[in-house]
Structure 1
Amino acid sequence: MSNLEPAPREVACGATGFDGVGILEPREVPLGGPRALPVRRTLPQRQRSLIGAWCFADHYGPHDVRESAGMDVPPHPHTGLQTVSWLFRGEIEHRDSAGVHQLVHPGELNLMTAGAGICHSEVSTRKTTILHGVQLWVALPDSDRNTARDFNHHVPEPVSRGDATIRLFLGELAGDRSPVHTFTPLLGAQLDLAAGCTLELDIDPGFEHGVLLDLGRLEVAGRTLESGQLAYLGPGSTTVRLHNRAGTTARALLLGGAPFTEELLMWWNFVGRSHDEIVRYRQLWQDGDDRFGAVSGYRGSVPRLSAPTLPATRLRPRRRT
């Protein structure tokens, strides 16, 4: 998914904000014009810009796309990251400049590696009535950020733990391991808890973790989490306890990773390390350079997105708190 903000701010990602347990509130961002798909963005923000290498989290829906424009994101570029598409409802058609054409369905991991440069499009299909899901970005370490374009599609088997169901798509959890390669140690899983269910999971104490609540109301590590909020847990814990006090099913994503120590500069859809890099990436995209390639088969009203205008000042890291 593209960041379609017309005037995106630069974000310097580092270990900012609280180190224990904290609650991150989402901010609403429209993807496009007045009829655009609104999303709730919990990463990055001032209190916490990274959870492991997870550097971007957009949570959207449920949207009835029979009465709206749905999702139609024209070809747009990425560098230095991987995108993770995860749906709860609906269907999205993905096309990219590595030649991949893939339909995205609920409960299926679609992991695109941008590396040195890629472009892709995302469109909700005519079969979709309700669109509901998350789009996540993973920052690539300096040693691998110029790797080749790639794409992985994986359908994890659901695992039952009492009245809870776990769908592990990245990393290791509850005795299960995802076969999908990551460039830094990561964890990604969907957790569904029946009404009244308590789920206690062993976690890596070297990781920091986030719990993004999609549906319901959860108690996470003693803190109450409302739908759309993200609970951050700093390194050091060997277990995480989730309790669903509500009378309906709760659904959340558990994200984790080893603390990412490299400083990143994010602007629009680019992840880089400096102002000059971001300027160069933008110009190459505007010039139609082969670094990003081209998407075949997209039939939208705009053939490709144009990059926003850069601010008049040099892109600078945010001051760390």
Structure 2
Amino acid sequence: MTYNTFILLIVILKFWSGVICQSQKNIQIPSDKSSCGVVNVNCASGQGTTVDCETGTRLYGPPGKRGPAGATGPRGPKGNTGSQGPKGKPGNSVNVEEIKNQIMKQIGAHSCEDLTENYGVTKSGFYILRSIETSQLNYIYCSFEPGISTCNQLRNSQGVNETGLYIVRPDASLPSFKIFCKFSLRDAITEIWHDNMNEIEVEGNCESQGCYTWTPNYSLNQGQIVSIISISRECRQFVKFRCKGVLLFRDGHGHWVSRTGQKMRYWGGSTSMRGNYCACGENGNCVDNRYKCNCDNNQIKILTSDEGYLTDKTVLPLKEVGFGDNGDAGEKAWFTIGKLECMG
């Protein structure tokens, strides 16, 4: 074999090796550059992992789908405990006995003045006060701010809105006094009570004009009441007279007395405040329209009544009531005098 023939044979074998590499799908990975092979790949086909037959370098295609997640491994060991933080500052010391003494002192107080004078309390708020008469404990609001005498002032100046008993002081030089406050979204009502706001029967064999009298004992004196009325937008007092054969105002039998001592002869609900007038007289619906009060019909077989609010601030509160015409058999009468209520 000549040299030229040998060279030709080598070229032919080299060409034939390249053809086989491109046509085979399962061949051995080459161990050197002189031969070409790939296991389970398409050599130079553009799919899967390929091998450059000239250089023997692996060429990677796009990644395949992600396989399923493996099982969770065992939990690792617990870490070391961290270092302790700095010690906090000590709190204020508490004298438990002193607190107990303060509570006992407050429970022992009988009035807002007692709280201030004996226990040094000056902050307005709710306190437990003990009644002198009954030793009963009461939860009462003490206002230590002078110049307050109505519930409306309390709400506007101190923001209170809880219905209940309050003790106020209209003037720093005057003693404080107790009022009852009723709060609603629309108004703040100051209530001044007296000793009997229930229905009372007219007693005794009494026929003459005003021979039976009754006087309410208010929780405040007249000066305190007038101070409340004077700064209130409006005031009212409910009155009612039930009768069976007993006259109210007719022939001068009944009356009520204003705070100035004047005898008045109209009843609650009479907006005109004309003499011998009741609410039914103003509305024209009395049982007998010849008379302006139901009870002035004087029918012993009829149980009827007259009722309504007295609203004149200049004469309130009612100081006394007087009735008569109650001496004959079968004649009965009852009356109710309500609390004084001031709004605004």
TM-score class, shorter: under 0.3
Alignment TM-score, normalising by the size of structure 2: 0.22
Q: Which has the higher strand share?
A: 1
With a CA cutoff of 8 Å and minimum separation of 6, indicate the structure with the bigger relative contact order. 1
Bigger fraction of residues in helix: 2
Q: Which of the two has higher C-alpha Rg?
A: 2
